[in-house]
Structure 1
């Protein structure tokens, strides 16, 4: 999830690390080009295509590693906005002819969203897990929850592919779309397509942990603001929305008649999260340096000092994210 959703970047002193706070990237391959894990591959010729893939080629290596996703899972779970669950539950409970929920999890990674959400919803659930990495899909399926809040059965299936755009029929039969750290690595056109698909199907969307572009570090350092500014610019490269994504998504869903709610979902990192904080710092600073190479010398000193404070249990970080719940009008309801 890098930098809240992008691919790994080459870091300071030649080290590779994910660029950040709210996406699913991890130190590792240093390959170039944004990746968006998500909604299932286009089928063979003659089958209905529900997903258009980004160009990248079948040999492109996976970008996300389970070690990073596991490292951040508890911070993600603590950050997600509980206040969005009641309006979501009310909407799902009133679905017409409901025999069970069908939930599409875009860019599922190791399945942390399902592990968090499925036990908080009542009723039978079938989760459709989408990711580009077959190993992550296997991990997500094996580690998925088996029962809902009321003890009803939870089942899963997996679909491999990278989502750039959902076609209007991609969500036929879906009760809910979920994703974590996805919006900030989309373009405006891709968010419009996602909003089109969800509102066209009358399908609610719970889109969590999108980078908000704000970081608070204590104790403060004079370079904090400059690193943050360079990181945010990195997140906006190549037409990606980065910290503007939630605002754009709110507008896109509202323009299509959906009711939209946004709640803060910050990571609050202290001594108990030192391992996560260390990896996040490396990615955050590394992305800033990639964006502004002239920062390198000062950034190396900054990172060294910050890592020492982290190891000593003296560093606190609040990494701001936002959760969005969009409730479209039910399909077929033009009012």
Structure 2
């Protein structure tokens, strides 16, 4: 399974947060849990490929109420970073954070006024092989962020089969959908984007070639056929390094990382075009302080 560093996750988090805020009104997240709590009144959540817990930090205040989270990842380094990341986030937002052994607890009030209290446990698991060991039957919500475009059709089908059997609600955020646009444009943008998209569809360790930009469409098709109510919303990254201000350093840093990552992946995918891709990279870096990059993502919720 391919991994992501905590530095990369921290670099993207403010852009993830802005993108998800734009989608939240359309998705109507509180409706996701209406009438779905367990007998004790709490909401049980499984967060797949949790990283350092960004999905929890986004959702817990928006959902409100009493919550029990199980954060799952294969990377012990990222799992070890969950507690300090939650503690720092809670301190910055005025929430209360406690740690008692392996159990974490955070409570506070979201920007929407909803009070929340979340008990959090982390677990290490190879999601490609051991997905069926998770307690879907005791879970009301299964969620993931920036995951579906990395997985194969077979893996996605297996996940949905288990979630559907347990009648879980589903929320998949920040799935790449294939839309990418630069301003200003470059003559070789399309060449690089096509090679990069093809590279995204390589096997990422989830039982076959990744779905890439087709992931949300495939998930929505299967969920709709199973009788789920499906809602989607755009959650695009807008990485604008052309505007001065407090967000400029973060935008420039993420845009630079995207340029480097796109060029590397495109060159691996299309080595015959390496010279053109290298020239594209140089021009893009030279334009960085005047460029805006939009990367299309889609959020999806589905309810039985």
CA–CA distance in structure 2, aligned partners of residues 66 and 304 of structure 1: 27
What pairs with 1:47-196 in structure 2 (closer than 5 Å)?
A: 63-80=3-20, 81-86=23-28, 88-95=29-36, 97=39, 99-144=41-86, 145=90, 146-149=106-109, 150-164=114-128, 166-167=131-132, 170-196=135-161
Greater helix share, structure number: 2
Equivalent residue, structure 1, for 2:182 = 217
Would you say 1:261 and 2:231 are equivalent positions?
yes
Provide Cα deviations, 1:27-57, integer angstroms capped at 9, x if missing partner: xxxxxxx43xxxxxxxxxxxxxxxxxxxxxx
Equivalent residue, structure 2, for 1:322 = 298
| Partner SS, residue 178 of structure 2 | strand
| Partner SS, residue 222 of structure 1 | coil
CA–CA distance in structure 2, aligned partners of residues 98 and 258 of structure 1: 25
CA–CA distance in structure 1, aligned partners of residues 30 and 184 of structure 2: 40
Structure 2 gap segments, 5+ residues each: 91-105, 204-208, 242-247
Selected match of 1:228 from 185, 193, 218: 193
CA–CA distance in structure 2, aligned partners of residues 308 and 98 of structure 1: 57
Greater strand share, structure number: 2
Give me the TM-score of the superposition, normalised by structure 2.
0.82
Would you say 1:293 and 2:271 are equivalent positions?
yes
CA–CA distance in structure 2, aligned partners of residues 126 and 276 of structure 1: 32
Contact 2:27 2:232 in 1 (8 A): no
Provide Cα deviations, 1:139-185, integer angstroms capped at 9, x if missing partner: 11333351254334211100002212633863121121111111111
CA–CA distance in structure 1, aligned partners of residues 214 and 13 of structure 2: 24
CA–CA distance in structure 1, aligned partners of residues 139 and 61 of structure 2: 18
CA–CA distance in structure 2, aligned partners of residues 220 and 247 of structure 1: 28
Contact 2:174 2:298 in 1 (8 A): yes
What pairs with 1:194-213 in structure 2 (closer than 5 Å)?
A: 194-213=159-178
Would you say 1:243 and 2:213 are equivalent positions?
yes
Contact 1:84 1:325 in 2 (8 A): no
Q: How many residues end up aligned between the 2 structures? A: 265
| Partner SS, residue 277 of structure 1 | helix
Report the alpha carbon displacement of residue 259 of structure 1 after superposing the two structures with TM. Answer: 1.1
Give me the TM-score of the superposition, normalised by structure 1.
0.75
Contact 2:30 2:62 in 1 (8 A): no
Equivalent residue, structure 1, for 2:244 = none
